[in-house]
Amino acid sequence: MRMRHLSLASLAVVLCALGLCMGYYGFTADGQFKLGMMYHDGRLVTKDDRKAVEWHQKAAEQGHARAQLNLGWMYADGRGVDKDERKAAEQGLAAAQYNLGWMYANGRGVDKDERKAVEWYQKAADQGYATAQNNLGWMYENGHGVDQDERKAVAWYQKAAEQGDARAQLNLGNMYDNGRGVDKDDRKAVAWYQKAADQGYARAQLNLGNMYKNGRGVDQDERKAVEWYRKASEQGDAKAQYNLGVMYKNGRGVDQDERKAVEWFHKAAEQGYARAQYELGVRYKNGDGVAKDERKAAEWYQKAADQGVAGAQINLAMMYANGLGVDQRSCLGNLYKPLSGESATHAVQWRA
């Protein structure tokens, strides 16, 4: 039966027999690491995370790389110590360095500091951590915590994209699509959108649908555009839902179907997508794909108008002018008589 309760002296004998000691007075760094692992795994001794941390710490202080890594994981997981993302990061754990960067970028648990975010993202990115590489690229693209540098953004997106990070593939596709940091290249944009879309990334599926719809970087194919819009729509992407509604409305890539158009416009509108709200207002006003309902038309025009959609503002004004679907008395006076104070300000906003 395996012995599980050895004294420290007995452990020293075992480790010395393995050539891991530096004599009577202590352990080599590798011996300290091995002893830490024995406590970590419960081999020959009772499992004890605190003692595992203690021995990993001793080895780490002597520069033992694996002990530093393990100590980082124990701080990250809160095993044998209080969870401490910073200490894990300082031990060189890439995941913890990324997490600490994210915390600084978003002001979570620390004061927001984008320069420190970049610093920690950089450390993780230099170790090949793909998510950190993508985020570092975003910081360079947008000039957060660093001087804006779109070429560096592309370089970091490329590193992460080549590791299969879907967000980086999307971002790299966007850079090629818009000629930012690289020469504009629709075919390369499509190639990177495709990689991210194949991983189920909704915004890449939307962008790929747009490329097929407009014949950019690929032969125009409205049926494929619809396929990609549908994939993104089913994941809840509001812009894709709106685009799919437009395809049904106009019979592009699918048989024209006003009811389905309304269905997709409604999904997008409920997420606050202004153009879909405007389209719903039109459909309720005219009874296209739904029963005519001027009150609902006014409600959706109002939502779109509040977001600055000029067509919705005009249509809503006409409904008030004609008393359609609204209480004409509540606004009619504002359209025709001089006003002052807050009401005057409101009138100016609507007339703009």
What is the average pLDDT value for the chain, to the nearest integer?
Answer: 83
Angle between helices 114-126 and 130-142 (to 10 degrees): 140
Instruction: Give the domain CATH number at 134.
Output: 1.25.40.10
Does residue 27 lie within any of the structural domains? yes
Residue 288 pLDDT level (bands cut at 50, 70, 90): very high
Roughly how many angstroms between the first and final C-alpha of the chain, as a whole number?
87
Mean pLDDT of 268-289: 98
Q: 141 and 80 share a domain?
A: no
Q: 124 and 78 share a domain?
A: no
Q: Specify the higher pLDDT residue, 8 or 343.
A: 8
What tokens appear for 137 in the block?
């690229």
Q: Specify the higher pLDDT residue, 42 or 311.
A: 311
Q: 107 and 186 share a domain?
A: yes
pLDDT at 133 over 50: yes
Q: 124 and 190 share a domain?
A: yes
Mean pLDDT of 77-97: 70
What one-character DSSP code corresponds to residue 121? H
Does residue 343 lie within any of the structural domains? no
Does residue 117 lie within any of the structural domains? yes
Q: 29-65 burial, b for 16+ CB within 10 Å, e for fewer?
A: bbbbbbbbbbbbeeebbeeebebbbbbbbbbbeeebe
The range of the structural domain enclosing residue 61 comes to: 1-85
Q: Specify the higher pLDDT residue, 64 or 153.
A: 153
Question: What integer pLDDT is reported at residue 43 of this predicted model?
Answer: 72
Tally of domains in the chain:
2
Task: Point out the domain boundary residue: 196, 219, 250.
Answer: 196
For residues 51, 56, 62 and 68, what is the CA-based torsion angle, rounded to 10 degrees? -160
Q: What is the pLDDT of residues 45-73, one digit of tens each?
A: 676 656 655 565 565 455 544 555 555 54
Q: How much is the pTM? A: 0.75
Question: What integer pLDDT is reported at residue 115 of this predicted model?
Answer: 98
State the Cα–Cα distance between residues 79 and 74, nearest whole angstrom.
Answer: 5
Amino acid 331 reads C
Q: What is the pLDDT of residues 211-250, one digit of tens each?
A: 999 999 999 999 999 999 999 999 999 999 999 999 999 9
96 CA to centre of own chain: 18
Question: What integer pLDDT is reported at residue 184 of this predicted model?
Answer: 98
Question: What integer pLDDT is reported at residue 3 of this predicted model?
Answer: 47
How far apart, in Å, are the Cα atoms of 42 and each of 16, 45, 47, 50? Answer: 19, 5, 4, 12
Q: Using an 8 Å Cβ cutoff, are 60 and 67 in contact?
A: yes
Residue 188 pLDDT level (bands cut at 50, 70, 90): very high
Q: 69 and 106 share a domain?
A: no
Question: What integer pLDDT is reported at residue 41 of this predicted model?
Answer: 67
Q: Specify the higher pLDDT residue, 67 or 119.
A: 119
State the Cα–Cα distance between residues 193 and 211, nearest whole angstrom.
Answer: 9
Mean pLDDT of 73-89: 58
Task: Point out the domain boundary residue: 85, 103, 131.
Answer: 85
Q: Specify the higher pLDDT residue, 66 or 282.
A: 282
Amino acid 285 reads K
Does residue 243 lie within any of the structural domains? no
> Averaging pLDDT over each range in 8-17, 44-53, 87-96, 196-205, which range is the top one?
196-205
Task: Point out the domain boundary residue: 56, 85, 114.
Answer: 85
Percent helix / strand / coil, the chain, rounded to 5: 70, 0, 30
